[in-house]
Amino acid sequence: MGHSFATFLALFPFLLYTTSAISKTFTPPSASDQIKFWSENVQNEMPKTILKKLSPLTQDDCKYYTNMISNNVKFSADSDFCSIAKLACSSGLEYGLLEKRRNIYVDEYQENKGLDRKISEADVFSFFRLSMLKNGNMVHLPNLEESLPDRAFLPSQIASKITLNIKEMAKLFPGVTKETIEKTLFYCNAAAIKGEVRSCPKSLEEMINFSKSALGGKKLISLSSKSTQGSNTELMIKNFKKLNTDKIVACHEVFLPFAAYFCHSLSSTNLYSVDLVEPKTGAPVNTLLAICHMDTSPFPENHVVFKILKLKPGQGEACHWFTQIDLAWMLDTESM
């Protein structure tokens, strides 16, 4: 892993987003704390997709709600709290829309237990083989658009008081129906498969700390796909690069009333940056991250990935694209 960090960032200009513009406007104290924590632990700057999820709460808000939750008061998230904290607490959330967007990349790691996804419900372009990554190849992208409702991260002091189980969530967020969150809680509470380290961080700080722990380093690099351009269309691969890292933490957003991710690190995983262009004109369209799990033997036999790729566990690798809100974490090797 001999590349310099400067060289690495030169390959990924889309990963940088300057937060200096934020400093020129008012930034809520909780958001300032989250930005500070990021800058102390992550080498490159925060992407727009994460900036949109920073908490709008004040210090007084944080203190008040932390005390309410931690002191076993019969507290539940009312409309005022959900509004000022930018949460999705409404009973009017459309379950069908959430189910349509369920991240099937999360499904690939867990046993069925009645939650198996039928191939007819899945995007058949979601998974592909590594052999598809060749310059000049045509590739049909899946749906990269995000339909989950906008939600902010909870400040870490509030999030740390929340337990991810149905009973606790029903008490704190009575306006959210069980069916909208039960699959997320199933993922979060399921046991890890062979070779996997996993977590469902409830705050931005928890996600960063988990990634540092799983990767065994002090300073991180955060990667994401450039945009959703080219979603559901056929494009041509102009160039692709395998990133020089032997360990990756992948984080996929899942639905809870607050911003939350399912994060995990699997052995035998490769990460690629793929430049995609318009086939006829060669005009640049997007740069996406693609992750390939080279050993599928631990995956559940009935998972949709094997139906799409017509494989059995262990017969071949399975690759998928990162959306704009997915995050891949690597170590900054110069800080080790």
Give residue-wise pLDDT tens across range 203-242.
999 999 999 999 998 899 999 999 999 999 999 999 999 9
Give the β-pairing of 220-223 and 327-331.
Answer: antiparallel
| Helix count and strand count (H, E) for the chain | 13, 11
Give the whole-angstrom CA distance, residue 86 versus residue 102. 21
Going by pLDDT thresholds of 50, 70 and 90, the confidence category of residue 71 is: confident
Does the structure show a pLDDT above 50 at 22?
no
Give the whole-angstrom CA distance, residue 80 versus residue 61. 11
pLDDT, greater one: 315 or 18: 315
**pTM of this structure:** 0.86
pLDDT score, position 198: 94
Contact of 208 with 220, CB cutoff 8 Å: yes
Highest mean pLDDT pick, 18-27, 179-188, 230-239: 230-239
Dihedral over alpha carbons 135, 243, 193, 206 (to 10 degrees): -130
Going by pLDDT thresholds of 50, 70 and 90, the confidence category of residue 111 is: very low
Of 125-134, 300-309, 326-335, the least confident = 326-335
Q: Which residue matches tokens 């790729």?
A: 309
C-alpha count within 13 angstroms, C-beta hemisphere, residue 169: 20
Which among 98, 148, 107, 112 has a CA at the least distance from the CA of 126?
107
